[in-house]
Amino acid sequence: MKLSRALFAVALALVFAAPAFAETQNVKVSGSIDAYWFYRDNYDLLDNNDASVLPAGATLAGGGIPTQSHSGATTQRSEADDYFRTNTQVEVSADLTDNVSAVVNLVNQRDWNAGSLAPNATGGVTESTSATNATNEFDIELDLAYVQMKEIFYSPLTLTIGRQDLWFGRGFIVGNNWRAWDQQGITQADEYSTTTAFDAIRATLDFNPWTLDFVYSKITEGSTNPENDRDLYIANVNYKFSEYNAVAEAYYVGEVDRNQLASSSGTFNNETDTFGGRVQFDPISQITLGGELAYQTGDYRGSLTAPTRDRAAWAADIFGTYRWDYTWKPSATVEYVYFSGEEDLGSAATTEYGSWNGLYRGHFWTAYADFREFVYATAQADDQPATTNSEFIQVKGAIKPLDDLLIEATYTYLWTPERVHKTAGDLSSSTENNHIGSEVDVQVTYDYTEDVSFGILAGWFIPGNFYISPNDATAADVVSSVKVTF
């Protein structure tokens, strides 16, 4: 009797399972293993303190004052950090019937056999002196999990629902959900995180050469109460021209942040409405020119007790690339980038707030400077995040002496468009010099096979006169990598 019931249960399961298997047209398994070695010296720009790499605080008072201690150990003067890291991904994609597909990507990110790491009060991680591994070092994180339906209801319409990557244009405004980096608080070098996806609903209308995208994303679910959430709204229109490899697009990106200032006494919005446009074209085959301009409006409130201020911020990106028609395929790029800043960061200020909100930018130009006070804290008490009040010019050169060898070098000169007062909120206090510094980066990539590549990145950030001794040591970054895709 037991055997009969077991056989009946198996048969019933096969009856229900058979249609599900039959609906699957194609399944693909892919993935990657990226191994890194890091050497980082004087990342806080303070020499001889054995505290070279510290995470920036999650809540930065006065527009970006660091909250980390930079005193370091008094018995050790090792200065530099060096460690290994591996990012492992396994992705499964399935094509179903009626233009339906599903994708799941699982990730493990870990520093090799690190000491116990735990999130600290400032949003970074603290490493204990224990030699035991972090208990969640080998845990699996969910990176992607979405379903995509093409030609749903209307032939040009594609609907994508779930955790997905979002990248628009050159990633100047949206491309990387940095809030998803290292959710478990167990790794360093968060800018190398592979978990960059958004929980979103995306509707794409393809009217070739026009493409229209509409996105809603839930960035933070504070609780089931919608009054303490952080939501993102995107509308993007893209047009590809038939000549000159030209493209033009216009967009609106809105972030409604009710999470940062949520409390039992009420919730106050920090709303950022970004309007912008981008053009890019090749006037001749050897030249690419492009530019992007964006403006932010909305409301800003620095604290629960601060008055609401109107946003009025700007960002711009202008670049040009020339490619020589030689065997080594040399190219040169000159680029200018601007993120507006704010002079008055006082808690009682009521004037327009001009500091640029970096939102979810996916494009980064440098190995170090882009992450000052955004990922890593400097020892300069009045330093501000690199995502705002920053302006720079970059010159980049690249050559390919072999088909599988690429050598790139960049020089970046940075300054602040708004002078930073030494006492935040006190406009009568003296200001720092506006020269942030210079950075030199060199990167070599060798494609061993189609699936395996080796890389080495070396970068040096030389602080400018904005940084006052002893907080002006040169920061060094060396990253070696081996990347395998399958």
The string of DSSP codes covering 234-286 is EEEEEEE-SSTT-EEEEEEEEEEE-STT-BTTB---EEEEEEEEEEEEEEETT
Given this model, what pLDDT does residue 264 score?
58
Residue 452: phi, psi to the nearest 5? -125, 130
Q: For the residues 460-483, what does the mean pLDDT come to?
A: 96
Place of tokens 């890593």: 376
Burial of 13 (0-12, 13-18, 19+ CB in 10 A): exposed
Q: Does the pLDDT at position 165 exceed 90?
A: yes
Check whether 293 has a pLDDT greater than 80.
Answer: yes
Residue 23: φ, ψ to 5°: -75, -20
- Of the ranges 33-47, 166-180, 275-289, 339-353, which one carries the lowest mean pLDDT score? 339-353
Ranking 11-15, 88-92, 290-294 by mean pLDDT, the lowest is 11-15
Report residue 2's pLDDT band, with 50, 70 and 90 as the boundaries. Answer: very low
Query: What letter does residue 4 receive in the DSSP assignment?
Result: H
Of 401 and 268, the one with more pLDDT: 401
Please say if the pLDDT value at position 424 is more than 90: no
Does the pLDDT of residue 9 top 70, yes or no?
Answer: no
Which two structure tokens, joined as six digits, stand for 17? Answer: 């399972």
Confidence of residue 376 (pLDDT cuts 50, 70, 90): very high
Query: Minimal CA–CA distance to 320: which of 291, 354, 296, 295?
Result: 291
pTM assigned to the model = 0.88
User: So what's the pLDDT on residue 79?
Assistant: 67
pLDDT over 70 at 282, yes or no: yes
Tokens standing for 34? Answer: 């990226």
Q: Which pLDDT band holds residue 306 (cuts at 50, 70, 90)?
A: confident
Confidence bin at 127 (pLDDT 50/70/90) = very low
Average confidence (pLDDT) over 297-310: 89
Q: Across the chain, what does the average pLDDT equal?
A: 87
Mean pLDDT, residues 369-382: 92
**Model pLDDT, residue 62:** 40
28-67 pLDDT, tens per residue? 999 999 999 999 999 999 888 877 688 886 443 344 445 5
Burial of 271 (0-12, 13-18, 19+ CB in 10 A): middle
Decide if pLDDT at 208 tops 90. Answer: yes
Residue 5: pLDDT over 80: no
Give just the sign of the alpha carbon dihedral 181, 185, 187, 189: positive
Q: Scanning the structure block, which residue is given the tokens 């050159």? A: 170
The yes-or-no verdict on residue 357 having pLDDT over 90 is yes
Q: Are 158 and 215 in contact (CB under 8 A)?
A: no
Separation of alpha carbons 424 and 417, rounded Å: 16
Antiparallel, parallel or unpaired: β 309-310 and 313-323 = unpaired
Mean pLDDT (whole number) for 372-397: 93
* Region of poorest pLDDT, from 220-224, 321-325, 329-333, 476-480: 220-224
CA 268, CA 250: separation in Å to the nearest integer? 29
pLDDT confidence of residue 221: 87
Rounded Cα distance, 319 and 337, in Å: 9
Least reliable range by pLDDT among 17-31, 98-112, 409-423: 17-31
The confidence score (pLDDT) of residue 6 equals 44
**Helix H or strand E encompassing 202:** strand 198-207
CA angle centred on 48, ends 42 and 53, rounded to 5°: 30
Residue 422 has pLDDT above 90, yes or no: no
The pLDDT score that the predictor gives to residue 137 is 84
- Return the pLDDT at 13: 40
Q: By three-state DSSP, how is residue 387 classified?
A: coil
Q: Per mean pLDDT, which range of 32-41, 55-64, 228-237, 477-486 is the poorest?
A: 55-64
Most confident of 24-33, 273-282, 294-303: 273-282
| Domains parsed from the chain with CATH numbers | 32-485 (2.40.160.100)
φ, ψ of residue 424 in degrees (nearest 5)? -60, 130
